[in-house]
Structure 1
């Protein structure tokens, strides 16, 4: 047995023997840091699992967190970081929760004058630094995943496909139309065409801010995809300014039916369905 191994075992034994008061103080410090946004019971559960996973790494040569022996603590920190992202904690608060263990270990060993143990404690401090960096990276990945999920959900909500009459669907678009959103529109429209057996689809762009060559191409692709499913598409909501832009850009809509308003488009689709809309006088 080497001297370093002996001291590593001594430090590990010291941490194991004092685990309960150590974790209790750790929980208290972090609970105060988070100002009641996490209960002590929740923190104790998380920290006890982390402490048990970190303990076997005490005195470990190197801080390569990708090594197999770090697998358990990596999994725990990833789960911990994700829960903190969803709870609205900052990356600093998340990483600081782990770093707070340092102070408790320093206080536990400050009365010991053994220089070898002191070096071992410094090594443990480096280990926590590496785990803190891992926590920050996990937090960043989790936040990116959540932002992406929320963006996809928002995209779904802002591109509804609604059945407004038997055999007639409508896709009211609002905002900016880009490649990602066009793909969602196309997929949802085709799914609804299959589900409802509709033969007419109205793509209303009244709420689209501007139409350029790219937006026009996206619309054309959607219309072509719907035609392949046997449905006729009508583009409505083409205001005078947008009409002028389309002409100036030299964009050709070919034989695609276009209407100035959603009402005009619906009237056209109903006629194609054999339905006549007649104004009835009341009074």
Structure 2
């Protein structure tokens, strides 16, 4: 007669619940989960107790079918724990080990429960491995999705921070760009610049590409889009930061920006001042004894 692994597993986790839970907590403690300081033992125990109780109830109602309604509570709890670990900086190994560390305590309990019943022990071990592996995969899927969301949000924040618009003078703005200019970032750059042009009523915007490592045809297209959008808002653009290497590359590729360009931001600023009817003059030194 073939033993039902789900029944053996349910009987084991019901009759030997205290020992399994204590051994699980001990295994998590030995794995170094608590040494990182990201989670306290009391919180870890609370999570483990909740997961274990919901796991036992799910086994009682739906056996090994983790897609059944009875497993929804334990999946939700594991998902919340995984999202929390992703935000706290836990490694994928630590996150997966939260579930996988439960295997050995249950295996030990199965040996105690089944004794010499080899077929019952084999069925219980097989059932345990199957259901815990699926739960572990769920924790990793939620963890990876959460990490991707965090990385995406951080990337967006970095992009926004790396495109500051600086007010150099009344009606003159500067937009220093650092890093690669791709389609996604071009949208942020354009939006930031246009908003600043409206707020400052700017006449001229200096786009400085000193920090852009390379300028190819695609980057030039992104720059032209930004320049065209600024012109529609009534502001002229000057591109600064054209280094010799970039100039040679652009000539070789046949790239034409069709916009005033200067080697340095200082040169571009001087042009902007002239266009707005201003100039910078050196103040003459006051004679000795006179108040400066």
TM range (shorter): 0.7 to 0.9
Shift of 1:43: 0.7
Which residue does the alignment assign to 1:280?
A: 283
Which one is further off, 215-224 or 134-143?
A: 134-143
- The answer to whether the Cα contact below 8 Å between 1:158 and 1:173 also exists between their aligned partners in 2 is yes
Which one is further off, 124-133 or 53-62?
A: 53-62
Q: Whole-Å Cα distance in 1 between the matches of residues 94 and 185 of structure 2?
A: 35
Which residue does the alignment assign to 1:25?
A: 23
* CA 280–72 in structure 1, closer or farther in 2 if over 3 Å, else same: same
1:126-166 Cα deviation digits (max 9, x unpaired): 21111112222222222222222222222222222222222
SS of corresponding position for 2:102: helix
Q: Whole-Å Cα distance in 2 between the matches of residues 78 and 26 of structure 1?
A: 19
1:167-192 Cα deviation digits (max 9, x unpaired): 22211112322222222211211222
1:159 partnered with 2:159: no
The residue correspondences of 1:179-190 to structure 2 (distance < 5 A) are 179-190=183-194
The residue correspondences of 1:76-91 to structure 2 (distance < 5 A) are 76-91=77-92
* CA 40–277 in structure 1, closer or farther in 2 if over 3 Å, else same: same
Shift of 1:116: 7.5
- The answer to whether the Cα contact below 8 Å between 1:24 and 1:44 also exists between their aligned partners in 2 is no
Q: Whole-Å Cα distance in 2 between the matches of residues 111 and 252 of structure 1?
A: 79
What is the root-mean-square deviation in Å for CA atoms of aligned residues? 2.6
1:5-53 Cα deviation digits (max 9, x unpaired): 9x73x85465346544432331122012125223211211211221222
Which residue does the alignment assign to 2:107?
A: 106
- The answer to whether the Cα contact below 8 Å between 1:31 and 1:43 also exists between their aligned partners in 2 is no
Which one is further off, 170-179 or 84-93?
A: 84-93
1:57 partnered with 2:58: yes
The residue correspondences of 1:128-167 to structure 2 (distance < 5 A) are 128-167=132-171
Which residue does the alignment assign to 2:177?
A: 173
Aligned residues, how many?
A: 277
Q: Whole-Å Cα distance in 2 between the matches of residues 82 and 107 of structure 1?
A: 30
1:228-258 Cα deviation digits (max 9, x unpaired): 222211111123332333233222333x222
Which residue does the alignment assign to 1:260?
A: 263
* CA 171–134 in structure 1, closer or farther in 2 if over 3 Å, else same: same
* CA 70–112 in structure 1, closer or farther in 2 if over 3 Å, else same: closer
Shift of 1:67: 4.0
Q: Whole-Å Cα distance in 2 between the matches of residues 116 and 83 of structure 1?
A: 40
1:40 partnered with 2:44: no
Which residue does the alignment assign to 2:289?
A: none
Which residue does the alignment assign to 1:212?
A: 216
* Consecutive unaligned residues in structure 1, runs of 5 or more: none
* Consecutive unaligned residues in structure 2, runs of 5 or more: 287-292
Which residue does the alignment assign to 1:239?
A: 243
- The answer to whether the Cα contact below 8 Å between 2:240 and 2:268 also exists between their aligned partners in 1 is yes
Give TM-score, length-normalised by structure 2.
0.83
SS of corresponding position for 1:111: helix
- The answer to whether the Cα contact below 8 Å between 1:31 and 1:39 also exists between their aligned partners in 2 is no
